Chain A
Amino acid sequence: MKTVAIDPITLEVIWNRLISVVNEQAAALIHSSFTTVVREAGDLSAGVFDRSGNMIAQSVTGTPGHINTMANCVKNYVVPNHPIDSLQAGDTLITNDPWEASGHLFDLTIVSPVYYKGRGVAWFASTCHAVDIGGLTMGGDAAELYEEGLAIPLMKLFSAGEPNAVLFELIRANVRVPDQVIGDIYAQQVGNNVGAKKLIELLDEYDLPDIEAVAQMILDRTETAVRSAVRDVPDGTYTSEVMIDGFDAPVKIACAVTVVGDELKVDYAGTSPQVDRGINVVMNYTHAYTTYTLMATLAPGIPNNEGAFRPVHVTAPEGSILNCTRPAPVSARHLIGHFVSQPILAALSQVVPQQVIANGSAGLWNTMLNGKLADGTPFAYVYFSAGGMGAGPNRDGLSATAFPSGIMGVPVEAIETAAPVLMHRRVLRQDSGGAGEFRGGLGQEMALEILTGQPANHSCMYDRTTYPAEGLNEGQSGAVGEVVLSDGTHPHPKSHYLLQPGQHVVLKLPGGGGFNSPLRRDPQRVAEDVRQGYVSLERAEADYGVIIDPNTMQVDAVATQARRREMTT
């Protein structure tokens, strides 16, 4: 086997090609997918790995909970159990083990080895959210994992190109919408095959035996760049904690970020213990959102691969809600998992305030509806929605935008076409953005009704209904969220209930926190927010100390100055 000298230019060319290859993999997957969860919400990840399972490149689509957990799954679970030389062309492995993969049974991780000139050279993997996996549907209600659906230990999905018929039958028998679930499994396989084909073309073109040398260089360069970014952060330990609603009782997430030279440690000691509800987070998922938040804050331009993870060490006490042990229920783990971003941002704000944003709604609001249509056929539908993001040190927060999750919302017309519901409104929530020199993003409000003429099950997965997103540096908190029925009652925000025909359920999503004192906000910007309806006249005065003439909608400069002086003292 000849060795090929790879200079920085060749490395960049081949690296770009690898990124193009995983994008082609993702394109093929998305195109042949059968579900809106994958296509419209983009709830998937795709990547290429070297022989030993180091993730080298990921597609531009995807969400952190999938990408980084997939990376750990391939390296620490798939490859140790099935070294590439023990498999053959046409083999594909599958698992949904929450602890080893991405934290709940819904996510199917499908991994295929690639062979070139008779030798294993790489892996392609993708993780997609299956629309159903049996069990109690998505939500936090289970007391143990066993209630949450079908568990698939790491096993072959295809052997030498032949489907594992027993497994396919088993899956088909365990899920509510088998055509969609099986269809998406095939779509993931199509993606892996496209990736493999394009990788082999690359090896041919550059006359490479494999991607080991290139991978090594990519990982080393990435690691060096991340270390250099970490070195810019002053040494020290920065701590923070946030409270979130939890299921039956509030949950505390405590974190200590320690910087020593070019290494970074995040420890979650002091975090609440795991609970008997499906909101527990496995270590892999905690790790994923931790590294994502650190990368986005400290090293945003650096690619996300195995090399980026090397200088970062994440720990959480075993048995805590961020490192739960089997057989804890985990179905709605994002409800807690998305929040690890929050104390990290708050901790880092103490040392790199210009690089962070204030806390935001953080947890996606997942609405799951299932029941029977008027003609008796069953339906199940889930969609995700976003509240407001926190403000930055020099800009307002984004309204109704998902963070840290990378998913997208679903249009009302798509929801109403796919599910028997009517949306009565979907508007930005006035005054929900935390006041500050830079205002937090607004949450949104939607009102829903079921159209089947019979009750439907509404499974709620909503947080920040008690504990708001806090502002930074005297910025105020965003509004808390609320779930309320037309009769004025409040369903449990993390359980399920029967939505009656004719009844409306109103979802009020939380807003993001503000940045810096609201008294520093330019009164003209406050007045503009009032004219546009983002802020009410009353809150302009109460929170910002800005007096606006309700007739002209102009700032009363003298009165404002006086009011602000009063508020400062």
Chain B
Amino acid sequence: MILAVDIGGTFTDIVLLDTTTQQIAVEKVLTTYPDPAVAVLDGIRALIANAGVAPEAIAYVVHGTTLITNTLIERKGAPTALLTTAGFRDALEIGNEGRYDMYDLALVKPAPLVERRLRFDVPERVTADGSVRQALDTAALQDLCGQLYDEGINAVAICFLHAFTNPAHEIEAREVVQKLLPDVAISVSHQVAPGMREYPRTSTTVANAYVQPITERYMARVEDGLRASGVEAPLNIMLSSGGTTTVEAASAFPIRLVESGPSGGALAGVYWGAQVGHSDVLAFDMGGTTAKAVLTKHGDLTITNQSEVAHVHRFKRGSGLPLMVPMIELIEIGAGGGSIAHLNNLGLPTVGPQSAGSTPGPAAYSRGGTEPTVTDADLLIGYLNPDYFADGTIKLDVDAARTAYESLAESLNLAVDRMARGVHELVNENMAAAARVHAAERGLEIRRYSMVATGGAGPVHACGVAEKLGLKRVIVPPLAGVGSAFGFMTAPISFDFTRSYVSKLDALNLDEINAILDDLEREGRGIVEAAGVPPGDVQVQLSIDMRYVGQGYEVRVPFTKQTLTPAHITQMQAAFEAEYKQFYGQLANGVPIEAVNWRIVIASPKPEIGRLALVADESQPDAAYTSRPVIFTADDEATDTPVYRRDALSAAWQADGPLIIEEAASTTVVLPGWAARVDASGCLVLTQKEHKS
């Protein structure tokens, strides 16, 4: 019995999987503020009672939360101080000296989490090669601690220059602070974000310290609550890198939890892709205000060490606080069902990022919204059923949607239907463009990918986005409403470390690097084994970020973790060249290669979640229950299109598009030229039959 809990902004989703019967039970409750632990515990109790499960039968609990992200966005973290190498306390404020929007003279940068007067110089200096130029002045540091105490500081971030190369001073400073201020949470940069570039490293370390006290308290409450409910299983916390870890490790590195929800969604995408037989997956989730996408290659999430949180402008890259921790690579754009269509200052139609959200919502909701939204457009072109939306709880008003689109259409001298179809296409293009550029930045060939579409609006737009990206297959999984929580269940217990150690391959000091890798492995094993993974089951993966000397972006090359010998260096070079060639087409022959970052992932085997008991038996009727006119084509002619109910489709069902499949959580639109079938896993699988010329 596995229990998964996902706290989102609006809902807290709880999923219980019986690993013997493969039956799933689901509970959705409103997230509670200010203490989200209340909803978690109430929901678990309700679910356990409804499913008739004994709490002690639960063997494993996994939990993901947006608490950390919200704390950073709302700036409600602990009073935090920053200790830096003397002369560099402003690194956090000077940032990258750039402007993220070149044409905005009123540009606002994110304010540092630690104000200037709480950023303190500590005399010490390590140079670029790791040697100590000036010893740590512990007396000065001790004096500072008195000041921190007087200021009522609860968290301290320590970030010294080049500490990722030689952490001795950070370790020493931590000991001093710990001794004098035993109740203060301390984050040190070489542990939180061991990579080059003082601004993102400091930013990450500070953010970690800032959320640490609140995370610790919250984790303790959830654990206590679980015990009080009779659940004895260990609590595991979902990380933004797609693994889970212990409460202890999560409390030490809470900044690694920032995108845990989307990484659960992506893991669910991987699971469903694998069930249908595909390992390269584009997980596409489109809700009310945003659309998110994640690319997973060979079943692995793509992990980045460069991301941002708490943006000044949600969809402007560079406007957030930089983070340098392993995090799923997420594409997010302001295009959801509630996104509003309007004319930009060039007189051209644009969608979002302004959104009508769920209140007042799209015009068709008749809740006071009058602006034309994506959902209104989807309704007008027949993709949505006015009488069956959100499980029939919301009656959509076609006339209201039409009225909302009239003035926009008129101003462009277009028919309302053409306008609506155009807005639908624009949204698809925006999402496709974001995915396309993302793939280009990573050198991925996106056409090979299968899309797994979730969220209320995801399956409505899936085929359209897929066509624009050249994808041939779309998978619409079951359990769409609790995708992230379900995904958590498939996450291995894992922890990873990235250590910067720059060296030309031909000059690699094997003794040193072997010692570093063994250290990382030992540290990781400690964390993973503490979560109850038997030592014999622990898997160790190594990947090396390599580049040609002089380049600044690396190519990540997987390599077997072993004691490295001179013979391995040739293999490392060959592995790099193979990856590089795939990215860039040609090698820079003759230029030496260097290794930059060494990443060790310590993980349990992936939990074996087999096929779920979801598919209806074949005795059910498969016929369309109705039909309606739908506009698919550029000439805006409506096609009478059969409409099915998903819960009435059996495992053997298949049919050619155009057709529409409705279910409580969403509507799947199968475009002309596509075929749909129900897979044995319970997924709808849509396949493009012929390549459009």
Q: Which residues of A contact B (CB under 8 A)?
A: 7-13, 15-17, 19-20, 23-24, 27-28, 30-36, 39-40, 42, 62-64, 179-180, 183, 186, 190, 194, 198, 205, 221-222, 224-225, 292, 295-297, 300-304, 355-357, 385-386, 392, 395, 398-403, 406-409, 411-414, 416-417, 422-428, 444, 447, 451, 531-534
Contact A427 B90 (CB under 8 A): yes
Chain A neighbourhood of B93, CB < 8 A = 399-400, 428
- The reply on B106 being an interface residue by CB < 8 A is yes
Q: Which residues of A contact B197 (CB under 8 A)?
A: 411, 413-414
The answer to the question of B158 belonging to the interface, with a C-beta cut-off of 8 Å to chain A, is no
Across-interface contacts of B196 in A (CB, < 8 A): 411, 413-414, 417
Chain B contacts of A19 at CB under 8 A?
A: 433
Contact assessment for A24 and B440 in the assembled complex, using a CB-CB cutoff below 8 Å = yes
State how many angstroms separate the Cβ of B555 from the closest Cβ of chain A. Answer: 9
CB pair A386–B584 under 8 Å, yes or no, is: no
Given contacts A7-B412, A426-B91, contact A34 B344 (CB under 8 A): no
Q: Which residue of A lies closest to B470 (CB)?
A: A201
Instruction: Check if A12 sits within 8 Å of B553, measured CB to CB.
Output: no
Contact A413 B162 (CB under 8 A): yes
- Inter-subunit contact A34/B105 (CB<8 Å): no
Return the 7 tightest CB-CB contacts between A and B, nearest first.
A425-B87, A9-B422, A409-B97, A408-B98, A20-B433, A24-B440, A39-B552
Contact A300 B103 (CB under 8 A): yes
Q: With CB as the reference atom, state the residue of chain A lying closest to B634.
A: A10
Chain B residues closer than 8 Å to A392, beta-carbon distance:
105-106
B345 interface contact, C-beta 8 A = yes
B182 close to chain A: CB less than 8 A: no
Q: In the complex, what residue of chain B is closest to A42 when comparing beta carbons?
A: B98
A392 to B107, CA, bound (A): 10
Judge whether B350 is part of the interface by a CB distance below 8 angstroms: yes
Judge whether B426 and A9 touch: CB under 8 Å.
Answer: yes
Q: Could you jot down 8 A-B contacts, CB within 8 Å?
A: A7-B422, A19-B433, A28-B440, A30-B553, A31-B553, A399-B93, A402-B98, A412-B88
- B536 an interface residue at 8 Å Cβ cutoff? no
A444 near B440: Cβ-Cβ < 8 Å: no
Q: Is the CB of A20 within 8 A of B437?
A: yes
Q: Cβ of A532 and Cβ of B584 under 8 Å apart?
A: no
The count of chain B contact residues (Cβ–Cβ below 8 Å) is: 70
Closest residue of chain B to A64 (Cβ to Cβ) is B102
Answer yes or no: B443 CB below 8 A from chain A CBs: yes
Q: Is the interface of B mostly helix, strand, loop or mixed?
A: loop
Q: Are B97 and A385 in contact (CB under 8 A)?
A: yes
Residues of B near A401 (CB, < 8 A) are 97-99, 109
Best-buried of A42, A417, A534 by chain B (most CB within 10 Å): A417
From B86, B198, B551, B588, contact of A412 by CB (8 A) = B198
Docked complex Cα distance between A516 and B429 (Å): 45
- Measured between beta carbons, the chain A residues less than 8 angstroms from B105 are 296-297, 300, 355-357, 392
Residue of B nearest to A403 (CB): B99
> Is B297 engaged at the interface, CB distance under 8 Å to the other chain?
no
B104 → A minimal CB distance (Å): 6
> Are A32 and B349 in contact (CB-based, < 8 A)?
no
* Cβ-defined contact, B97 with A386, below 8 A: yes
Cα–Cα distance between A289 and B107 once the two chains are bound (Å)? 19
A417 touches B348 (CB 8 A): no
Which of A9, A31, A222, A408 lies in contact with B96, CB distance below 8 A?
A408
> A400-B94, A403-B99, A417-B502 known; 11 other A-B pairs, CB under 8 Å?
A9-B412, A9-B419, A16-B430, A20-B433, A28-B584, A30-B553, A34-B550, A300-B105, A385-B97, A412-B198, A422-B133
Look across to chain A and name the residue whose beta carbon is closest to the beta carbon of B107: A398
Bound Cα distance from A531 to B162, whole angstroms: 30
Alpha-carbon gap, A194 to B441, bound state (A): 11
Given the complex of chains A and B, what is the CA–CA distance between A10 and B348 in angstroms?
10
B436/A24 in contact, CB under 8 A: yes
Q: Which residues of B contact A302 (CB under 8 A)?
A: 345-346
A531 to B98, CA, bound (A): 26
* Minimum C-beta distance from B564 to chain A (A): 23
- Min distance, Cβ B580 to any Cβ of chain A, angstroms: 9
Instruction: Known A7-B412, A9-B414, A428-B90; judge A32-B98 contact (CB<8 A).
Output: no
Which interface residue of B128, B344, B443, B586 has the most chain A CB atoms within 10 A? B128
Nearest B residue to A38 by beta-carbon distance? B552
Q: What distance in Å separates the Cβ of B259 from its nearest Cβ neighbour in chain A? A: 22
The residue from B433, B443, B553, B590 contacting A16, defined by CB atoms under 8 A apart: B433
Do residues B104 and A300 form an inter-chain contact, with CB atoms below 8 A? yes
Within 8 A of A (CB), among B93-119: 93-99, 102-109, 115-117
Contact yes or no, A407 B98, CB < 8 A: yes
> Complex: how many Å from CA A303 to CA B346?
9
Choice from A399, A406, A424 contacting B87 with Cβ under 8 Å: A424
Which residues of B are found within 8 Å of A179, using beta-carbon distances? 550, 590-591
Residue of B nearest to A421 (CB): B128
Q: Which partner residue on chain A sits nearest B468 by CB separation?
A: A205
Name the residue on A nearest B440 (C-beta). Answer: A24
Tell me whether A9 and B349 are in contact (CB under 8 A).
yes
Q: Is B216 an interface residue (CB 8 A)?
A: no
Distance (whole angstroms) from the CB of B421 to the closest CB of chain A:
8
Give A156 Cβ to nearest chain B Cβ, in Å: 19
Question: Beyond A7-B414, A296-B102, A392-B105, is A12–B349 a contact (Cβ under 8 Å)?
Answer: yes
A416, B109: Cβ atoms closer than 8 Å: no
In the assembled complex, the CB of A51 is this many whole angstroms from the nearest CB of chain B, namely 22
Residues of B within 8 A of A304 (CB): 103
Give residues 449-502 of B contacting A (CB, 8 Å).
468, 502
- In the complex, whether B34 has a CB less than 8 A from a CB of chain A is no
Contact of B88 among A13, A23, A426 (CB under 8 A): A426
**CA distance in complex: A401, B551 (Å):** 25
Residues of B within 8 A of A40 (CB): 552
The residue that A444 contacts in the complex, of B94, B127, B583, with Cβ under 8 A, is B94
Q: Please, which residues of chain A bring their CB within 8 A of the CB of B588?
A: 34, 183, 186
* Residue B365, interface by CB 8 Å: no
> Which residue of chain A has the shortest Cβ distance to B343 in the bound complex?
A8
Provide the bound-state CA to CA distance between A346 and B103, in Å.
17
Task: Chain A residues near B591: list those with CB within 8 A.
Answer: 179, 183
**In the bound complex, do residue B97 and residue A180 qualify as a contact, i.e. CB atoms below 8 Å apart?**
no
Given contacts A392-B106, A400-B94, contact A9 B425 (CB under 8 A): yes
Considering the chains assembled together, what is the distance between the CA atoms of A24 and B199 in angstroms? 27
Contact A412 B90 (CB under 8 A): no
Q: Which residues of B contact A533 (CB under 8 A)?
A: 116-117
Contact B418 A9 (CB under 8 A): yes
Question: A57 to chain B: closest CB distance in Å?
Answer: 12
Q: Quick one: given A32-B584, A296-B105, are A11 and B348 in contact (CB under 8 Å)? A: yes
Complex CA gap A61/B109 in Å reads 18
In the complex the two chains form, is B86's CB within 8 Å of A34's CB? no
Chain A proximity of B266: nearest CB distance (Å): 22
Out of B87, B128, B550, B590, which one reaches A416, CB within 8 Å? B128
CB distance from A334 to the nearest CB of B (A): 15
Least CB distance, B353 to chain A, in whole angstroms: 14
- Contact yes or no, A13 B429, CB < 8 A: yes
Assess whether B548 is interfacial by the CB under 8 Å rule: yes
A534 touches B116 (CB 8 A): yes
Q: Who on chain B is nearest to A31 by CB?
A: B553
Question: Is B593 interfacial (CB-CB < 8 Å)?
Answer: no
Give A62 to B103 CA distance when docked, in angstroms.
12
Q: Measured between alpha carbons, how far is A295 from B103 in the docked complex, in Å?
A: 7
> What distance in Å separates the Cβ of B405 from its nearest Cβ neighbour in chain A?
12
Closest to B164 in A: A413
Contacts of B99 in A (CB 8 A): 398, 401-403, 406
Report chain A residues within 8 Å CB of B443.
31
B439: nearest chain-A partner, CB-CB:
A24
B28 at the interface (CB under 8 A from A): no
Give complex CA distance A383, B196 in Å.
17
B493 to chain A, nearest CB (A): 33
Interface string of B560-584 (1 = CB under 8 A from A): 0000000000000000000000011
Which residues 174-197 of B sit at the A interface, judged by CB distance below 8 A?
196-197
Alpha-carbon gap, A223 to B44, bound state (A)? 60
Q: Does B345 contact A413, Cβ atoms closer than 8 Å? A: no
